[in-house]
Amino acid sequence: MSAQNPIPAGDPALVGPPDPEHDPRASYALEPEYVAALTARLTATSGTTAEVRSPLNDAPLAHIPQSTTQDVATAFSRARQAQVAWARTPVDVRAAMLLRLHDIVLDRQEEITDLVIWENGKARKHAFDEPLHVALTARYYGRTAGRHLGTRRVPGVFPVLTRAEINRVPKGVVGIISPWNYPFDLALIDGLAAIVAGNAVVTKPDAQTMLSALLAAELLEEAGLPRDLWQVVAGPGPEIGGAIIERADYVCFTGSTATGRAVAKACADRLIGSSLELGGKNPLLVLRDADLEKAAEGAVRASFSSSGQLCVSIERMFVADQVYDRFVERFVARTQAMTLGATLEWGNDMGTLVSQAQLDTVVAHVEDAVAKGARVLTGGNHRPDLGPYYFEPTILEGVTPDMTCFGKETFGPVVSLYRFHDEADAVSRANGGEYGLNASIYSQDGDRARFIARHIKCGTVNINEAFAATFASLDTPMGGMRESGTGRRQGAEGVLRFTETQSVATQRVLPLGPQYGMSDELYAKVMTLNLRLLKKLGRA
């Protein structure tokens, strides 16, 4: 996916050579000038680059300049200086910038979508979800920032005498470490909430998808964000990510549970906050009264959107005995009817995996399951004719606890089917393991489905929908329970995490203590009478 290349400062590899036929470092897929304009936004002085190739066809995309730990320090210094003025900028001015970004993202959606596909390999309809979700997020916080962040009056200890209010003060500089699976969306959505709250951002996107994240930075500047307020660095996670955690006032991380634990420990050592969206082994329940056509359609999207490389993808399906055979017939048929391909064009139902490492994991999980007795109902094959890392959408039956894919996240286009007879048993099995990110329930009885949802240990539960209902409802917080993470993005929680709570109280006329000449004993009696009176008046 990437390789370190020592390149002297000023070498044309940093901007892309003009003749791809004669220079192996050339960008065959993207214009060198386009790449150069994006990578110029990096704070990177190491003189080395990392090559990035496309999962569509293994074509070179770019040579990304690499940052040093000193570059990270420089990025934080610039961000801190810019943040002082930004924190004093009225919230409505910050919000207006997000509303401009909303329009810019929609205007340039074709460019964004193309770049996401080149770097990630997903189908175009799934790549389109990224500018769509960013626009939704920008509009949401652009419209609601004042409500979430404005000073709030609350009752003081005594009516009239005590005025109390709560301020939301920005943390300072937020560090964001974003993944490759939603490279434009996840590079932006946490940061949008951070900057509207008055913070600066230093971000380290994944090495495979730097260009999408750099395009995001360009669009922010076009929308009016001061350039120094959003810093981008590049480099190995353990080195550059660690340097970010050492300097940030708050950290957002999206990635594996193992790395999330390390991030949480490092943040705890510094007594700073963090929000972590981590792994998942997400369940889908098809109840006996489900509309099977809708359930089968949703199951395809739930399992194979972005080739299963979506944090909220479904990897386990629990289907009621009464409808199991009819559901499986429909689900398999819809899966087999999918249009497969790794191209920039519309029309593909599923794109490719992103890397050899992801392909190796998927192949290993399927081969292990089959060797131990699982049945492949459809799929199960690597398809190099479609792309170097392409793997067919795969449905497994008969998966047992001794198989790797039973409890370990695959993060690919593989789903396992299980029968259930008793709904309580289905809920118990859905809650098995240590993850708790997303779940889905299909039933025509909405009340019953919502009741069951309360017993599912997942941060989001979608009813009669795969994942998009919660994902696109920006007032609903998103995040995981248990080993799927801590903290929430979206909604009020998604922006308030980037603030400190400051309480301010003003006392009028009488002090909260004995007045001049009043004994302590008399003060205690007066206060006791006042407390009893306030209780009778219904005060909290």
Q: Answer yes or no: is pLDDT of 528 > 50.
A: yes
Residue 174 parent element (H or E): strand 173-177
pLDDT digits (tens, 9 = 90+) for 53-92: 999 999 999 999 999 999 999 999 999 999 999 999 999 9
pLDDT tens per residue across span 438-497: 999 999 999 999 999 999 999 999 999 999 999 999 999 999 999 999 999 999 999 999
The reported pLDDT for the residue numbered 7 is: 34
Whether residue 346 is predicted with pLDDT greater than 70 in this model: the reply is yes
- pLDDT value of residue 510: 86
Give the pLDDT confidence of 378-401 residue by residue, as tens digits: 999 999 999 999 999 999 999 999
Nearest to 283, CA basis, from 488, 491, 481 = 481
Cα within 13 Å of Cα(173), Cβ side: 26
Do 213 and 205 contact (CB within 8 A), yes or no?
A: yes
Catalytic positions, written as ranges: 277, 311
- 10 Å CB burial of residue 511 (0-12, 13-18, 19+) is exposed
What confidence score (pLDDT) does residue 28 get? Answer: 64
Structure tokens at 101: 């970004």
Give the tens place of pLDDT for each residue, 223-263: 999 999 999 999 998 999 999 999 999 999 999 999 999 99
Contact between 196 and 533 (Cβ < 8 Å): no
Lowest mean pLDDT, pick from 26-35, 138-147, 255-264: 26-35
How far is it, in rounded angstroms, from Cα 263 to Cα 276? 8
Q: What is the pTM of this model?
A: 0.91
pLDDT of residue 512: 87
* Confidence band, pLDDT 50/70/90 cuts, at residue 1: very low
Average pLDDT, the chain: 93
Question: Which residue from 139, 226, 137, 225 is spatially nearest to 184, judged by alpha carbons?
Answer: 137
Residue that has been written with the tokens 């500047």 in this structure: 221
Tell me how far apart the alpha carbons of residues 118 and 128 are, in angstroms, rounded to a whole number.
Answer: 13
- Model confidence over 268-302: pLDDT tens digits? 999 999 999 999 999 999 999 999 999 999 999 99
For β-strands 414-420 and 162-170, DSSP reports them as unpaired
Cα 425 to Cα 419: distance, rounded to the nearest angstrom: 10
Structure token pair of residue 362: 């998927």
Contacts of 270 (CB under 8 A, 6+ apart): 245, 246
pLDDT over 90 for what percent of the chain? 91
Strand extents, DSSP E, 205-327: 230-232, 250-254, 273-277, 282-286, 314-320
